[in-house]
Structure 1
Amino acid sequence: MPDTSLGNRIAALKGAAWKALLRFGENFAYMVAGLPMALRRMFRPRPTLALPPAEYLHRYYAWSYWRLPFGVLKGLVAGLAWFLALPIAILIFTRRNSRAIAARSGVSITAQVLGQVEMAARFAIAPFWYYMFELYLPDRKKQAALYLTAHETIGPAYSLLQPPPQSDGMDDKIWFAEHCHEQGVRAVPVLMHFARGERQPLKGGSEILPEGDLFVKPRSGSGGHRMERWDFIGQSRYRNAHGEVLTAEELMAKLTRQSLKDDFLVQPRLSNDPALDDISNGALATVRLLTCRNEAGLPEATNAAFRMAIGNSVVDNFHQGGLATAVDLNTGVIGIASDIGIRPDVGWRDTHPVSGALFKGRTLPHWDQVVALAVKAHEAFPERIVVGWDVAMLPDGAMIIEGNGKPDLDIHQRAERGPAGQSRIASLLAFNIERAEQTRSR
């Protein structure tokens, strides 16, 4: 029987309230950061495909911004928040980065502060992105208008292009795993599901924890948050990255308690192809491969970035401190790598910071399979326009880890050391937005 005690119900409500608060905070932050872009194009006409792709997307964002319910009122609120938040953000990121960047690039601290103000006011590029995209460098600054930020992609662009939730549940990892299995797409399975304080029935799931290494993650989580690895050490015992050892019964009890606040899944822990051993810390390394439907309606691979975990991290997520490098789509060759770039510590490197192994110029294993599998996976989701696929390279080939229906372009613009506004993905996004708007207006 489900545990319906008052304490458990309160815990579940707190978990739901916290997730709702995080969603609101993210959306509000995007609305504030994007205000200058919306203001600069406030009185310009609706965009057309005659515009360059980056300008189309910028103008579509502005057009959508003022179409929101209470758009002008929200703009006033966002304006007040912008003037309050910008100095704080500049202070935080300047203190964190400015001295090291000044020594590395020759750009003074004063110039960096003024640069952050200019980028935020002219191009809606917040201090976070100023350092990520290295806009203190003269050649990058000249291209500032071509960068695509999360408020315009994850905001109105992707929102317009989402399929009806009743026909596509990609954000639900259980639905995703079952759908991939039914469509013959090789994807990581789900072994167990815990929710509302108990283990839930699962199609093809396990009754007991398997004697093997496991990976625990939230059912609808993203960004590598609250994920945990449990290695099987024998005698029905498992150990996590912090050295905690639990029996199978104790681990299931822990997951049951955790599930009062959120759904959690258990999946098998996967191992990298041995060719990647010297550039990983043992955590699974993946490729983020972007596919988008082209003018013929077919999925097309447009960008790829290879991600490596460093330190004690159990995930390779770029926003959790991992390294990323651009991948040549045709050859699978990788280049120099860096972290997300909002701290000056890592910089750009062609060798792994721990092992010293060279990764610049290396060819990733199973590359043809990686690209083909991502395209095949997109074909299995006919109503999806754009997807960011996380693909692992295992000893026996490629495997889909998950699909991201609203993939941000930060990792690609950072790893490729240049803006996406003139690239194939920008052209395809503009094309699909225009077609969706025309369909909606009929």
Structure 2
Amino acid sequence: MSVPPSPDDRLSLADRFATLRGAAWKALLRQAEALAYLVAGLPMALWRAFRGKPAASLPPAEYLHRYYAWTYWRLPWGPLKAAVAAVMWPVALIAAIWLFTGRNGKAIAARSGVSVAAQALGQADMAARHAIAPFWYYMFELYLPERGRQAGLYLTAHETIGPAYALLQPPEGADFLDDKIWFAEHCHAAGVRAVPVFMHFSKGERRPLKGGVDQLPEADLFVKPRSGAGGHRMERWDFIGGGRYRDAHGTVLDGAALVQKLARQSLKDDFLVQPRLKNHPALDDIANGALATVRLLTCRDGQGRPEAANAAFRMAIGNSVVDNFHQGGLATAVNLATGEIGIASDIGVRPEVGWRDTHPVSGARFAGRILPHWPEVVALAIKAHEAFPQRVVVGWDVAMLEDGAMIIEGNGKPDLDIHQRAERRPLGGARIAELLAHNVARRAGNQSKSRPD
């Protein structure tokens, strides 16, 4: 269905420029992230540069560290990129120490007894010896002596999201895990319970959609970008009767006006309409109005079977739209065997949040609760992974509804930060490190026609 043209709807030169500008900005952010990883990971690459190819017999964390170092110098223009990183590293480190110490130093000193000066020196030490940037220093509480002694076991994004996950990705075109439309259709065909898509808007029009609807349902809705991540640009529209919907800011639109609005938004990016899911009633008092989800990490074992490795439960505190950990939410570790949750915290860069066993908004206690439908949550994540046979590792976002568990999405390059923060321990000595190291060694060996020596 095409939206009736209006001055706002036509792809004017301004619209086209905005679209190109948005694409250029996304590309720039990707390049900036890649550069940040190169700079942060330089010490790891230097200290392990002359140890040769990683041997599969190494402990998992050390194997992954060495694999990162070994691949660092084999990147296109690797030595030149390393030289640029070497110039930027001290400047970036000083700036990061100034930023994160200024934000956290006094509060952490009062809480832990570690002086601000000692924290600054500790950040420099962790960055130089373990390639752990100041951001992670506070996230993983490395100012605590018992954590600092385990610094070599932490797995950071530059080595996992970087070369390890890059090696483990399926062949191009094997699946389209990141495409929310394809994902919903594929899960439906595979018998995996996943959130459906009602409507798809692109370039100012509503596009045909398998299993879609002709009119907005008279129900609460959730709007998100087709390829978005991290809780960005998502909207909740609650049905208030009389064909009208209200968003989280109090804006009220009827169905036709909401369709027009979404069409205009899609001039710059594709948007989807999905049902707004509601938590199991047992979670209402700790969800702050948002859908609370579990990030459940699965990885293939030595026989190629998906295995549940880690789980973290997320709750919203600052808004009622998303529970995303990187958008200010809380996360707590989940006992894989029982579904019990413990104390929770944010990502670790706001010391006023700290660790808590009650929700900061509702005051409800959550530590010690058993999550509803827990065996079904784990089984559903395993079943979902089986539906993606060429995926080695996936981070599943799973909702717990009154009538059971439902997959929200799968993440092909899942961040380990949430698990290491929530579990208050490094994962380099955990099962997930064993699984990742095994798969990386096997894939690297297959590429070179021999196992790493």
Question: TM-score, normalized by length of structure 2?
Answer: 0.96
- Counterpart of 1:258, as a letter, is Q
Q: Distance in 1 between matches of 2:91 and 2:137?
A: 18
Residue in structure 2 matching 1:130, options 131, 137, 154? 137
- Counterpart of 2:407, as a letter, is I
1:125–1:149 Cα contact (<8 Å) kept: yes
Q: Distance in 1 between matches of 2:287 and 2:82?
A: 45
Give the structure 2 partner of residue 79 of structure 1: 86
Say if 2:48 is the partner of 1:35. no
Residue in structure 2 matching 1:214, options 203, 208, 221? 221
Deviation at 1:343, TM superposition (A): 1.4
- Counterpart of 1:230, as a letter, is W
Q: Distance in 1 between matches of 2:271 and 2:11?
A: 18
Deviation at 1:9, TM superposition (A): 2.1
Distance 1:226 1:4, change over 3 A: closer
Say if 2:294 is the partner of 1:287. yes
Residue in structure 1 matching 2:73, options 66, 70, 79? 66
Deviation at 1:172, TM superposition (A): 0.6
User: What SS does structure 1 have at the residue aligned with 2:410?
Assistant: strand
Give the structure 1 partner of residue 439 of structure 2: 432
What's the Cα RMSD here?
1.1
Deviation at 1:42, TM superposition (A): 1.1
**Equivalent residues in 2 for 1:88-127, closer than 5 Å:** 88-127=95-134
Say if 2:336 is the partner of 1:321. no
Say if 2:349 is the partner of 1:349. no
Say if 2:392 is the partner of 1:378. no
Deviation at 1:159, TM superposition (A): 0.5
- Counterpart of 2:406, as a letter, is M
Q: Distance in 2 between matches of 1:16 and 1:202?
A: 24
Q: Distance in 1 between matches of 2:22 and 2:137?
A: 33
- Counterpart of 2:62, as a letter, is E
- Counterpart of 2:357, as a letter, is D
Residue in structure 2 matching 1:174, options 181, 184, 197? 181
**1:251-296 per-position Cα deviation (integer Å, ceiling 9, x unaligned):** 1111111112211111100000001111111110000000000001
1:12–1:196 Cα contact (<8 Å) kept: no
- Counterpart of 2:359, as a letter, is H
Give the structure 2 partner of residue 245 of structure 1: 252
1:217–1:226 Cα contact (<8 Å) kept: yes
Give the structure 1 partner of residue 345 of structure 2: 338
Say if 2:298 is the partner of 1:302. no
- Counterpart of 1:83, as a letter, is P
**Equivalent residues in 2 for 1:193-272, closer than 5 Å:** 193-272=200-279
**Equivalent residues in 2 for 1:413-424, closer than 5 Å:** 413-424=420-431
2:222–2:237 Cα contact (<8 Å) kept: yes
Deviation at 1:38, TM superposition (A): 0.7
Question: TM-score, normalized by length of structure 1?
Answer: 0.98
What's the % identity of the aligned pairs?
75
Residue in structure 2 matching 1:156, options 163, 167, 171? 163
1:366–1:393 Cα contact (<8 Å) kept: yes
Deviation at 1:353, TM superposition (A): 1.1
Deviation at 1:6, TM superposition (A): 2.5
Q: Distance in 2 between matches of 1:391 and 1:307?
A: 10
**1:217-240 per-position Cα deviation (integer Å, ceiling 9, x unaligned):** 111111111111111111111111
- Counterpart of 1:165, as a letter, is E
- Counterpart of 1:53, as a letter, is P
User: What SS does structure 1 have at the residue aligned with 2:73?
Assistant: helix
Q: Distance in 1 between matches of 2:347 and 2:95?
A: 20
User: What SS does structure 1 have at the residue aligned with 2:379?
Assistant: helix
Residue in structure 2 matching 1:48, options 48, 55, 66? 55
User: What SS does structure 2 have at the residue aligned with 1:332?
Assistant: coil
Q: Distance in 1 between matches of 2:32 and 2:436?
A: 26
- Counterpart of 1:94, as a letter, is T
User: What SS does structure 2 have at the residue aligned with 1:393?
Assistant: strand
User: What SS does structure 2 have at the residue aligned with 1:98?
Assistant: helix
2:11–2:267 Cα contact (<8 Å) kept: no
Deviation at 1:438, TM superposition (A): 1.4
* Unaligned stretches of 5+ residues in structure 2: 4-9
1:217–1:228 Cα contact (<8 Å) kept: yes
Q: Distance in 2 between matches of 1:81 and 1:219?
A: 35
After the TM superposition, which of the residue ranges 203-212 and 151-160 deviates more from structure 2?
203-212
**1:346-384 per-position Cα deviation (integer Å, ceiling 9, x unaligned):** 101111112221111110000000000000000000000
User: What SS does structure 2 have at the residue aligned with 1:34?
Assistant: helix
Q: Distance in 1 between matches of 2:400 and 2:191?
A: 18
- Counterpart of 1:397, as a letter, is G
Residue in structure 1 matching 2:409, options 398, 402, 406? 402
- Counterpart of 2:448, as a letter, is S
Q: Distance in 2 between matches of 1:261 and 1:28?
A: 26
- Counterpart of 2:147, as a letter, is R
* Unaligned stretches of 5+ residues in structure 1: none
Q: How many residues align?
A: 442
Residue in structure 2 matching 1:276, options 273, 283, 292? 283
**1:142-196 per-position Cα deviation (integer Å, ceiling 9, x unaligned):** 0000000000000000001001231110011111110000000000001111112
- Counterpart of 1:144, as a letter, is A
User: What SS does structure 2 have at the residue aligned with 1:130?
Assistant: helix
1:14–1:261 Cα contact (<8 Å) kept: no
User: What SS does structure 2 have at the residue aligned with 1:67?
Assistant: coil
1:332–1:363 Cα contact (<8 Å) kept: yes
- Counterpart of 1:184, as a letter, is G
Q: Distance in 2 between matches of 1:423 and 1:149?
A: 14
Deviation at 1:11, TM superposition (A): 2.4
- Counterpart of 2:414, as a letter, is P
Q: Distance in 2 between matches of 1:225 and 1:81?
A: 29
